[in-house]
Structure formats: C-alpha cells, structure tokens
C-alpha cells in the first residue's frame, strides 16, 4: 500500500492520507467514521502482540449442495480465499488481552460478506469448547450479512448450533463478550451475537436483522435515518455500550477484570 495516497472518507467525503488513516486505526480523524478493517488487522490492534494462536485454520467449506447462482459456490469460495487470504469468514483462536487469556473469534466481511455457513458454525463451536476447557472468557467480533444461502438449511442450522455452544459457555459462568462491527445482520444478529453477557458496538455500526434497504422495500414507507445503527440500538437497550476502536482493547480488559473478579 502506498502510504502517500489519499483515501476519501465514506461518511464525510474528506481526503485522508493513508498513513494517517492507518495510524488512526482506519478511523476518520475528521468525523470519527469507522472504516472496514479485516480480521487479521483487527486482531493486531486488539490482542497482545504475538499472543494469538489460531485454531482450525485448515477447515474449509465444501459445495455439498452443488449450488449455483450466477456462479458455482465452489468458485465463489475460491475467489473469496484468493481475495482475502483466509480459509473462511471467521478466524478463531486463543490470545491475550492485557495479559488475560481469551478465546477469540473475529469475522471478516470481506469473505463472502462474512456469511455464516457450516464451517463458521463449527469453528465457533470449537472456540466455545476451548473457552470451557481452559476456563477463559469468550469474545467474538461479528461482521456478517447473515446465513450463507449457498448452503441452504445447513447454514440456518448454525444459528441453533452457535447459540447452544455459547449457552454452554455461559452455563459454566464464563464471560462472553460480543462485539458488533459494521455490518452485523441476518442470522448472525439473530443468534450468537445477541446473547452475550456484554454487547459492545463500534460507533455507527449497522446492527439489525433486515437492513434499511430491505425494510424500506418491504414496508413501502420511510424509516428513521438512524435505523439499525449502534446509537439507536444503545438508546433502545439492544447494546450495552458503544466503544471506539482506539479504546476497544482497554475496554475488553477492564470488562474481563470485572466479570472474572
């Protein structure tokens, strides 16, 4: 990346030097808009340096339905892997946050819109098992358009599977913190992302089941400009706090300290 290039903020339209944007954790220094970042960058700025140990890195989705829309599902998977360098829409593992051990999962919207299929569900289940086995808090960063349509009913089954897995973590009195990033919608918003002890959202993150465009088309009427945004969800009690990216690591450490006593 050429750090001398300029980036136009998606929210305010102002030009930002790439070097400035990177140093500011991809947050606009003028309006505070939180730009998209990939899961590995997210881990770099959230966990203690060198502490992340990845799990299930070789787990990959297969086209068991032989699904095809405009392209074969197998082709879409291959393209997503090449584009992102990831094997799936979530990366999971163990890490430290200011010295506290955690089981952490980070979804990546760049991989097929962060959609949840059989492998995402299985990786979350395994992550929950690791949280229980090692008695360490569970943290999941969500960013998803919902269930992966190319896997049909199997993708919808992951909603129940992930909720059940998280339920076992919470039954062991192990803290679970859900972090909502932009966007988190569909089957992910209706499953594991909303059943945490603490739900945090980044500023301006879209967090709803159906997005504004779909709701407008369905209802045939106007909806509030802040429909589904983190700030409206906070006012309605659907998230517990809004935390800027620069404060996320410190906030997570403080919550772990409070929840673990």
Tell me the CATH number at 97.
3.90.226.10
Same domain, 43 and 15: no
Res 5: pLDDT:
82
Model confidence pLDDT, tens digit, residues 109-147: 999 999 999 999 999 999 999 999 999 999 999 999 999
Q: State whether 69 and 160 are in the same domain.
A: yes
Predicted confidence (pLDDT) at residue 261 exceeds the cutoff of 80: no
Residue-level pLDDT at 4:
63
What are 31-78's pLDDT values in tens digits?
999 999 999 999 999 999 999 999 999 999 999 999 999 999 999 999
- Shared domain for 187 and 103, answered yes or no, is yes
Q: Are residues 21 and 80 in the same domain?
A: no
Are 207 and 225 part of one and the same domain? Answer: yes
Same domain, 26 and 53: no
Question: HSE of 58 in the Cβ direction (CA atoms, 13 Å)?
Answer: 0
The reply to whether 136 and 238 lie within a common domain is yes
166: its two tokens: 């998280």
Would the pLDDT of 1 be above 70?
no
State yes or no: pLDDT of 96 exceeds 60. yes
Residue 135: its pLDDT value, please?
A: 98
Instruction: Give the pLDDT score at 2.
Output: 56
Host domain of residue 10? 1-35
Model confidence, pTM? 0.95
pLDDT class for 221, splitting at 50, 70, 90? Answer: confident
Alpha helices in the chain (DSSP H): 18-23, 39-46, 73-84, 118-134, 152-171, 186-189, 212-219, 230-235, 248-260
Residue in this structure with the two tokens 């269930």, named with its chain if needed: 147
Nearest 5°: the CA angle 182, 187, 188 is: 45
What pLDDT is stored for residue 36 in this prediction? 95
Are 25 and 77 in the same domain?
no
Same domain, 6 and 110: no
Q: Report the chain's mean pLDDT, rounded to a whole number.
A: 96
Each residue of 223-259: pLDDT tens digit?
Answer: 988 999 999 999 999 999 999 999 999 999 999 999 9
Same structural domain, 8 and 71: no
In whole angstroms, what is the distance from residue 229 CA to residue 219 CA?
19
Question: Do residues 116 and 153 both lie within one domain?
Answer: yes
How many domains does the chain contain in total? Answer: 2
Instruction: Please tell me whether residues 106 and 28 are part of one structural domain.
Output: no
What proportion of the chain, given as a percentage, has pLDDT over 70? 98
Q: What is the pLDDT of residues 189-206, one digit of tens each?
A: 999 999 999 999 999 999
């Amino acid at each position: 990346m050429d750090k001398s290039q300029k980036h136009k903020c998606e929210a305010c339209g102002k030009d930002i030097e790439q070097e400035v944007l990177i140093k500011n954790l991809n947050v606009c220094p003028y309006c505070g808009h939180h730009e998209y970042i990939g899961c590995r960058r997210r881990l770099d700025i959230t966990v203690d340096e060198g502490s992340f140990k990845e799990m299930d890195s070789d787990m990959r989705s297969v086209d068991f339905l032989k699904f095809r829309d405009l392209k074969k599902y197998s082709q879409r998977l291959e393209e997503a892997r090449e584009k992102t360098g990831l094997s799936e829409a979530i990366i999971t593992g163990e890490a430290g946050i200011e010295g506290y051990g955690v089981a952490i999962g980070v979804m990546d919207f760049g991989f097929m819109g962060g959609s949840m299929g059989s492998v995402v569900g299985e990786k979350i289940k395994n992550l929950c098992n690791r949280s229980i086995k090692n008695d360490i808090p569970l943290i999941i960063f969500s960013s998803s358009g919902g269930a992966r349509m190319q896997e049909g009913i199997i993708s919808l089954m992951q909603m129940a599977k992930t909720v059940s897995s998280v339920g076992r973590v919470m039954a062991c009195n192990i803290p679970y913190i859900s972090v909502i990033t932009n966007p988190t919608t569909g089957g992910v918003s209706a499953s594991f992302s909303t059943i945490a002890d603490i739900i945090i959202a980044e500023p301006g993150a879209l967090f709803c089941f159906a997005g504004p465009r779909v709701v407008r088309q369905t209802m045939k009427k106007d909806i509030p400009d802040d429909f589904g945004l983190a700030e409206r969800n906070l006012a309605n009690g659907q998230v517990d706090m809004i935390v800027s990216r620069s404060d996320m690591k410190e906030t997570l450490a403080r919550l772990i300290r409070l929840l673990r006593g």
